[in-house]
Amino acid sequence: MKTIAPQSPVETLYQEGRKTFIELVPNGGARLDALFCTAPALGELAVGVVYGYLHGRSGLDHRLQEAAIFAAIVAAGMVGPPLSVHFNTSLAEGLAPGELTELLLLVSAFTGFPRAVATAEQLNQLFASAGLPSPPPPTPRAVVMAFCDSVRRDQPSFPVSAQVRKLLRKPHRLSLQATAADRVVIESYKGTETNPRGMLLVRVANTQVVEVTAYSPMPD
């Protein structure tokens, strides 16, 4: 009876990582094959570690993972395939184009302008290839912050309910967290309270708020 040798751990991780990469990047399989055609073992190791193991860890959400990777790529001056690949995977995991340029600006203060400028030049081409506007619209969080200010001035840029006005009005403290390229979650706190009085889910399209949904804590 012929026995079949079990897959090695690296090969198993590679197959999982390749599947993930193909889901994230258009024509991802062909891109991997072309990139690692002369060093397939390197492809197995790199794809297996990054997309088979690290991508699947639960400690960070995928948006935060991609933000950290993008910042590391800029800091290392990797303006070739790593930047191109993670430009695409960042968008696929819900980072907004404006968030990438904000990351570039932030990293430039710590890694130096030459590397940041080299990245900016490559981003020009990547934005153009993806059909994205340059410069990109403000980040979702920035759009929602401006919206909150407009509500507090009683000049909302989008019609809102009395419940929304109540949660956004001063002296409530607001905590804003972008959860996708078009969504921001707001927690509304009063005074020194540590539990929010309510939460808002805000949907953004380009530079405009297009939907606001309020959630209040369930009564005991």
For the stretch 125-170, pLDDT in tens is 999 999 999 999 999 999 999 999 999 999 988 889 999 999 998 8
Q: Is residue 98 in a domain? A: yes
- Total domains in the chain come to 2
pLDDT at residue 4, as a whole number: 52
Q: Give the number of other CB atoms < 10 A from CB of residue 43.
A: 18
- Which residue shows structure tokens 């005074």? 191
pLDDT in tens, 45-93: 999 999 999 999 999 999 999 999 999 999 999 999 999 999 999 999 9
What CATH number did the domain enclosing 38 receive?
Answer: 1.20.1290.10
Residue 2 included in any domain: no
**Do 19 and 115 sit in the same domain of this protein?**
yes
pLDDT at 216: 77
Tell me: do 105 and 176 sit in the same domain: no
User: 160 - beta bridge partners?
Assistant: none
Angle, CA 48 vertex, CA 79 and CA 24 arms, to 5°: 60
Looking at residue 36, what is its pLDDT?
94
Q: Are residues 125 and 144 in the same domain?
A: no
Q: What distance in Å separates the CA atoms of residue 182 and residue 206, rounded to the nearest whole number?
A: 8
